Structure 1
Amino acid sequence: MKATLLKENFLKALSIASKAISLKATLPVLNNCLIESKENKLYLTTTNLETGINIYLPAKTEEAGILSIPARPLLEFVNAVPEEKILIESTDESLTVSSGYYKATLSGISASEFPSLPKVSQSNKVGLQKDDLISAVLSVSFCASIDESRAPLTGLLIKGDEKETTFVATDGYRLSEKKIKGQGFFQGPLLIPSRAAIEVARIAQEILKDKEQIVYLSKEENELLFTFGEVEFFTRLIDSPFPSYQAIIPTGYSTQARVSLKALEDALKSVSVISKEGGFVAKLAFAKGGTLSLSSAAPQVGEAQVQVEGDVEGEGVSVAFNIRYLLEALNIFTGPSVSFKLTSPTSPVLLQDEAKADFIHIIMPIRVQA
Structure 2
Amino acid sequence: MEFVCSQGELNSNLSLVSRAVPSRPTHPVLGNVLVVVDAEKGRVSLTAFDLSLGIETSFSADVNQGGKITLPAKLLNDLVSRLPEGEISLITNKDALENDNQLIILKSASGQFQLQAMSAEEFPKLPTVERGDTLKLPIAILAEGLKGSLFAASNDETKQVLTGVHVAGTLDGLEFAATDGHRLAVVKTPLQTEPDGEEEAKGMPEGDFAGFAVTIPARALRELERMFANSQSTDTVALYVDNAQIVFELGEQRLTSRKLDGTYPSYEQLIPLQFARTVSLDRKQFISSLERVAVLADQRNNLVKCTIDKEKGQISLSVEAQGLGKAKEFIAAKITGESGDIAFNVKYLMDGLKALPTKEFQMQLNADNQPVILTPLGGIKMTYLVMPVQIVR
TM-score for both structures, normalised by structure 1: 0.94
Cα deviations by residue, 1:31-64 (Å, 9 ceiling, x for unpaired): 1000011121111110111100111111122222
DSSP 3-state at the match of 2:295: helix
Q: Give 1:25 shift.
A: 2.2
Residue in structure 2 matching 1:49, options 48, 51, 62? 51
Q: Give 1:306 shift.
A: 1.7
Partner of 2:91: 89
Residue in structure 2 matching 1:332, options 340, 343, 355? 355
Partner of 2:266: 244
* Amino acid in the other structure paired with 1:339: Q
Residue in structure 1 matching 2:336, options 313, 324, 338? 313
After TM superposition, the structure 1 stretch with the greater mean CA deviation from structure 2, 315-324 or 327-336, is 327-336
DSSP 3-state at the match of 1:274: coil
| Structure-1 separation of matches of 2:248 and 2:164 | 16
| Structure-1 separation of matches of 2:236 and 2:315 | 43
Q: Give 1:123 shift.
A: 8.0
Cα deviations by residue, 1:109-159 (Å, 9 ceiling, x for unpaired): 111111111122388521121122122112111111101011111110000
CA contact 1:335–1:353 (8 Å) conserved in 2: yes
| Structure-2 separation of matches of 1:215 and 1:239 | 24
Cα deviations by residue, 1:261-292 (Å, 9 ceiling, x for unpaired): 12211221222122234511111121224221
CA contact 2:298–2:322 (8 Å) conserved in 1: no
Gaps of 5+ in 1: none
Partner of 2:366: 343
Cα deviations by residue, 1:177-232 (Å, 9 ceiling, x for unpaired): 111123432735201111111110111223x1x46201111012210000002101
Cα deviations by residue, 1:296-326 (Å, 9 ceiling, x for unpaired): 2232333222221110001223111001111
After TM superposition, the structure 1 stretch with the greater mean CA deviation from structure 2, 119-128 or 227-236, is 119-128
| Structure-2 separation of matches of 1:109 and 1:278 | 50
Gaps of 5+ in 2: 94-98, 192-204
Cα deviations by residue, 1:80-101 (Å, 9 ceiling, x for unpaired): 3325222111253222111235
Distance 1:211 1:363, change over 3 A: closer
Partner of 1:283: 305
CA contact 1:259–1:338 (8 Å) conserved in 2: yes
RMSD of aligned C-alpha atoms? 1.8
Q: What does 1:220-231 align with in structure 2 at a 5 Å threshold?
A: 220-231=242-253
CA contact 2:105–2:115 (8 Å) conserved in 1: yes
Partner of 1:22: 22
Partner of 1:258: 280
CA contact 2:17–2:48 (8 Å) conserved in 1: yes
CA contact 1:278–1:299 (8 Å) conserved in 2: no
* Amino acid in the other structure paired with 2:238: Y
Distance 1:124 1:189, change over 3 A: closer
Q: Give 1:361 shift.
A: 0.6
Partner of 2:155: 146
* Amino acid in the other structure paired with 1:7: Q
| Structure-2 separation of matches of 1:62 and 1:278 | 62
Question: Paired residues, what number?
Answer: 368
* Amino acid in the other structure paired with 2:285: A
Q: Give 1:348 shift.
A: 0.5
Partner of 1:5: 5
Residue in structure 1 matching 2:184, options 170, 175, 178? 175
Partner of 1:204: 228
Q: Give 1:345 shift.
A: 0.5
| Structure-1 separation of matches of 2:385 and 2:66 | 54
| Structure-2 separation of matches of 1:258 and 1:11 | 47
After TM superposition, the structure 1 stretch with the greater mean CA deviation from structure 2, 150-159 or 23-32, is 23-32
